[in-house]
């Protein structure tokens, strides 16, 4: 659960539980491996990471859990906005996909309220997140369409 996790734990996980080595990550963000290692130490022995290093760290590790956690602590929801491009799928299909996701989400939410347990909670939470992703994607799509900036994929 996101609210039970500390920033230090997420930072540790971002640095140490990654496909890249500490040396690779440090090289990508332009600091010494020793400094990066100390940023990720749990407890009082670690050093504070400067704010200017957080985004490069998240980008280098492709781990944005810290951003999501900070948003959650602030009362916000952080979702990735998918890349929008026009492919063979037409606009009616975009609307249908959004509608299907919304209907499924309402169904799973009802199931959760009828039988609140971990499984129904996870199903409802995941489906609600999917609706938010569709919402963000569609918002970006209509913004690009109104300005005439759609990218075409074949």
CATH of residue 119's domain is 1.20.58
Q: What is the pTM of this model?
A: 0.64
Mean pLDDT confidence for 45-51: 77
pLDDT at 61: 94
Q: Average per-residue pLDDT in the chain?
A: 84
- In the predicted structure, residue 89 carries a pLDDT above the cut 90: no
Residue 138 inside a domain? The answer is yes
| Domain end (from 39, 73, 107) | 73
**Domain assignment of residue 104, given as a range:** 91-147
* Within-domain flag for 58: yes
Q: Tell me the pLDDT tens digit for each residue of 106-152.
A: 999 999 999 999 999 999 988 998 898 888 888 888 888 888 776 55
pLDDT more than 90, % of the chain: 36
Q: What is the pLDDT of residue 85?
A: 60
pLDDT at 151: 59
Structural domain contains residue 122: yes
Phi, psi of 152 (to 5 degrees): -100, 135
Domain identity same for 113 and 62: no
pLDDT computed for residue 106 by the predictor: 97
Say whether both 68 and 98 belong to one domain.
no
Question: Is residue 38's pLDDT more than 90?
Answer: no
Find the mean pLDDT for residues 74-80: 82
- The model's confidence at residue 154, banded by pLDDT at 50, 70 and 90, is very low
6 neighbors 70 (Cβ within 8 angstroms):
no
Evaluate if residue 153 carries a pLDDT over 70.
no
Domain tally, the chain = 2
Q: What is the pLDDT of residue 1?
A: 44
As a whole number, mean pLDDT of residues 52-73 equals 91
Q: Are residues 67 and 101 in the same domain?
A: no
């Amino acid at each position: 659960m996101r609210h039970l996790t500390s920033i230090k734990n997420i930072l540790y996980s971002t640095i140490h539980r990654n496909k890249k080595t500490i040396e690779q990550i440090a090289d990508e963000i332009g600091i010494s491996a020793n400094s990066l290692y100390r940023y990720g130490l749990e407890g009082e022995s670690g050093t504070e990471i400067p704010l200017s290093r957080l985004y490069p760290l998240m980008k280098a590790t492709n781990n944005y859990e810290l951003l999501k956690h900070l948003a959650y602590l602030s009362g916000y929801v952080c979702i990735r906005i998918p890349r929008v491009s026009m492919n063979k799928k037409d606009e009616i299909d975009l609307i249908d996909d959004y509608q299907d996701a919304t209907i499924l989400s309402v169904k799973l939410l009802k199931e959760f309220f009828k039988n609140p347990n971990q499984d129904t909670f996870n199903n409802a939470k995941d489906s609600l997140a999917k609706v938010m992703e569709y919402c963000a994607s569609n918002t970006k799509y209509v913004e690009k369409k109104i300005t005439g900036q759609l990218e075409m994929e074949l």
